[in-house]
Amino acid sequence: MGEEDLETLTLIRVAGEFVTYVLFPGIDETAFAERIDWRHRESAGLDAIISPWRKDRYRIAIGTAVPDLILSRLQAVNVEGETAARAERLGGIEPAMTLAWFAGVAFFATHEACHAAAGHVAYQKALNPETSTGDLPRPLDLATFRLLSELEADGAAAASLLSADYELMRTIEGLSSDGDDRADSAMMFIVIGVFATLELLASEGPVEDGYPTPETRYLNVVAAVFRHVAPHLLLLKSGDYVRREASGEEVQNVANRFRHSVLPALAALNHFDVTAPFGEDIAALLGGAIPNKSEAGRDLARYSRNRARFMRALSGFRETRMWDDFND
């Protein structure tokens, strides 16, 4: 085995250990992640296989190409201007981009773990005519289930990673984690890693097969970041988030965090003109409004209307209590 292969397998192993022993214990008291058996599998694509294993355990086998595919996407990131300035606050471009890389691989692993923890694997088994026991009273159609389960796994994985930002930073050699302005800089590079991986994930799941579009997944993660940054501004009503009335100072504080983290991350990935409809929908999400300027925003709003039904359908399949925290 070559040195590069060993580094790839080590990164997959470390990402699984990070999810099991660092990330999930901070958000889940049931020790669910210790029921996951992390493996790797030879594959040239960005993929993973998750399956029930040994009674109440799950096996997640991550493709060996995953770290390299994420790294290749990150190597195309624009590291000039504000991106470079933010990197210097973290000790330089190399440790900052290494943070983005590890965040991307950890996001991929967490996304898969969330499918298991959220009951998606068990519910899909119940939907499958070959494995169903036929006791689902009002089953979701497969397309709706697939859309909403991907969005839920994306959002939960992103919010979980951001809640463990300091622990993520501590894994990177040479990364400075001290100083008042480090949090937004770290958040920017974590988000870069998440969005780069999300782009690759979206390309692997064709829209015609029921997967959400890349842009819809980006907006959904922006909403998850908002829930992380300003949980005190949100209430859950009828299965969906609504924003409570906030003071001008609160709104400005949230807007500043996004201006110094999420928006530069999008710019670094050379994706979006933030003045275009997509950017307007980001602003709408931050303002507590329904995104409706872009096709992706309208899709996300439409999917959200099925959220309460989705949550009721999954309630008996959830593997952990962490969803109570995400949905409170």
pLDDT value for 328: 44
pLDDT of residue 179: 61
Beta bridge mates, 37:
59
**Strand ranges, E, within the chain:** 36-41, 48-53, 57-63, 234-237, 240-243
Distances (CA, A) of 283 to 92, 216, 254, 275, 290: 30, 15, 11, 10, 10
pLDDT of residue 134: 63
Structure tokens at 91: 């000790």
Cα–Cα distance measured from residue 192 to residue 78, given in angstroms and rounded to the nearest whole number: 11
Q: Taking a C-beta distance cutoff of 8 angstroms, is the pair 25, 39 a contact?
A: no
Q: What is the pLDDT of residue 239?
A: 45
In order along its 328 residues, the chain shows pLDDT tens digits of: 445 566 788 899 999 999 999 999 888 878 888 999 999 999 998 899 998 887 789 999 999 999 999 999 999 888 888 888 889 989 999 999 999 999 999 999 999 999 999 999 988 888 776 766 666 767 778 888 889 999 999 999 999 998 888 888 888 888 876 665 677 888 899 999 999 998 888 777 555 566 788 888 888 988 888 777 766 655 444 445 455 555 566 666 777 777 777 778 888 887 655 557 887 888 777 766 788 888 889 999 888 888 888 888 888 889 887 765 555 4
Query: How is the chain split among helix, strand and coil, in percent rounded to 5?
Result: 65, 10, 30
Is the distance from CB of 281 to CB of 292 less than 8 angstroms? yes
Report pLDDT for 282.
81
The helix/strand/coil state of 281 is helix
Read out DSSP for 6-30?
HHHHHHHHHHHHHIIIIIHHHH-TT
